[in-house]
Amino acid sequence: MKLTPSFIQKTTFLLLLTSNLWFLPTKALAQNVVGLTTMPPRVTDLVIDPSQAQTREIKVRNDSNVDRYITTTIKDFVVTDDAGTPIQLEDVDLSQNRWAASNWLQITPTKFKLSPGETKSLVLTAVVPEDGLPGGHYAMILFTPDTVNLLNQTGSIVQSNVATLVYVTVPGDIKQDAQVKLFSAPSFSEYGPIDFDTIITNLSDVHITPEGSIKVTNMLGGKTADLTLEETNIFPYTSRDFQNTLDKKWLFGRYKAQLQAGYGTNGQALMATLFFWVIPWRIIVLALTLLAIIVALVMVIRSRPPKSSSNQSIQDLEKELEILKNKYKDRH
C-alpha cells in the first residue's frame, strides 16, 4: 500500500480520536451511563430516640433514554480525608463500627423498574434499637441499575451506581467538641488576592456543620471583607479543609483576619486570628526613584544663575562699551 500524505493524515486522526475515547475519565463515563438522580442526595434530619422509628421519602429519577431495572442495597460508610469523601464499608458489624447504621435502615421497594424520564418514590424507614448509642450513625443507600458495568483504570469491570447518604442522630449524652487545626494565609504579599486555608477537626460523637466567616480588617480597624465559610458536614473525628479568597488586588498595610464560627446544639464557638502584610514594594521603589529624579532636577535648575542677573551684566557691559566709544570719538 502506498503511504500517501492523505492516508497518513487520516490514520493519525483516527488514532488520536481512539486515544481520546480510551482515556476519558471513568467518573465522567459513569455519570453518563448510569443516568440516575436521587432526591435528596442526603437525608440529614433523622433524630431518633432508642426503640423509635421514622420514615422519609426518597425519589429516584431515570435520566437516560432506556429502561432501568434498579436494585437497592444499604452499606455503612466512613470519611477519612479532608474533602469529606464517603468510603463504602463491606460487611462491618455494628460492634466494630460505632458509627454504623446500615442495620437500622430499610428501603421499600428494594427492586423496581424505571422508564426513561420516570421518577419513583421510595420509603426509607429508620429504626433505632434499644441499645443504640447516642451520637451520629451513618449509612448509604446504593441504587444500582442492571448491566451498567465500566472498566476501571486497572482494566477490571466495576459496577456503577448512585447513592443517598443517610445521617441518623440518637439523642443523649453526646460529646460536642471541635478545634481549628489550621488557619493560615501568606504572611507577606505584594498584591492580592489573598488565599486563606482553614482546617477544622471534629472531635464530637456526631457530625457538625460549622457556620461562620472570616472577617478581614485593615490597620485602621476598617472592614475590608467578610468571607463566608462553606456550609459542609464534618464527620466525627475527621477534619475538613475550607478555602476562602480575599479577591482584591490593591491592598496596602497590615491586615487582621479573624475566623469566627459556631457549631453544635449548644452554640459552641470556634475562633482563630492571624495577621498579614500586603506591600506593593515594586511600585513603591519605582515611585521613590521617580521622586529622587524629580528632586535632582529641581536642585540642578535652582543651582543655575537667575536670568535677571545675567541680563543686568550684559547691560553693564554695553554701557562700558558705549563710554569707551565716546572717549575715542573725543580724541579724534
The secondary structure of residue 230, as a DSSP letter, is P
pLDDT tens, residue by residue, 245-270: 999 999 999 999 999 999 998 889 99
Whether 146 and 185 map to the same domain: the answer is: no
Report phi then psi at 129, rounded to 5. Answer: -70, 165
| Neighbour tally for 153: CB within 10 Å | 9
- Number of domains the chain contains: 2
Question: Does position 101 have pLDDT exceeding 80, yes or no?
Answer: yes
What's the CA gap between 272 and 214, in Å, rounded? Answer: 9
Please check whether residue 332 lies inside any domain of the structure. Answer: no
Question: Does position 123 have pLDDT exceeding 80, yes or no?
Answer: yes
Which CATH number do you get for residue 91? 2.60.40.10
| Neighbour tally for 113: CB within 10 Å | 12
Please check whether residue 310 lies inside any domain of the structure. Answer: no
Specify the pLDDT at position 11: 38
| Cα separation values, 100 from 54, 61, 163, Å | 17, 27, 16
User: What integer is the mean pLDDT of 210-234?
Assistant: 95
Specify the pLDDT at position 148: 54
- Nearest C-alpha neighbor of 43 from the set 181, 284, 289, 207: 207
Specify the pLDDT at position 14: 34
Whether 67 and 98 map to the same domain: the answer is: yes
Question: Does position 149 have pLDDT exceeding 60, yes or no?
Answer: no
Residue 276: pLDDT band (50, 70, 90) is: very high
Whether 110 and 199 map to the same domain: the answer is: no
Specify the pLDDT at position 284: 92
Specify the pLDDT at position 308: 56
Residue 15: pLDDT band (50, 70, 90) is: very low
Residue 211: pLDDT band (50, 70, 90) is: very high
Question: Does position 291 have pLDDT exceeding 70, yes or no?
Answer: yes
Specify the pLDDT at position 17: 32
Question: Does position 3 have pLDDT exceeding 70, yes or no?
Answer: no
Question: Does position 13 have pLDDT exceeding 90, yes or no?
Answer: no
Whether 63 and 102 map to the same domain: the answer is: yes
Mean pLDDT of the chain: 83
CA-CA-CA-CA torsion sign (104, 108, 114, 119): negative
Chain Cα centroid distance, residue 121? 33
Whether 48 and 76 map to the same domain: the answer is: yes
Q: When comparing pLDDT for 7 and 303, which is higher?
A: 303
User: What integer is the mean pLDDT of 66-76?
Assistant: 92
| Residue 190 lies in domain | 178-281
Whether 54 and 163 map to the same domain: the answer is: yes
Please check whether residue 59 lies inside any domain of the structure. Answer: yes
To the nearest whole percent, how much of the chain has pLDDT over 90?
62
Specify the pLDDT at position 93: 59
Specify the pLDDT at position 322: 72
SS3 label, residue 331: helix
Specify the pLDDT at position 91: 62
Specify the pLDDT at position 161: 80
Question: Does position 165 have pLDDT exceeding 90, yes or no?
Answer: yes
Specify the pLDDT at position 95: 57
Whether 48 and 161 map to the same domain: the answer is: yes
Question: Does position 31 have pLDDT exceeding 60, yes or no?
Answer: no
Whether 152 and 232 map to the same domain: the answer is: no
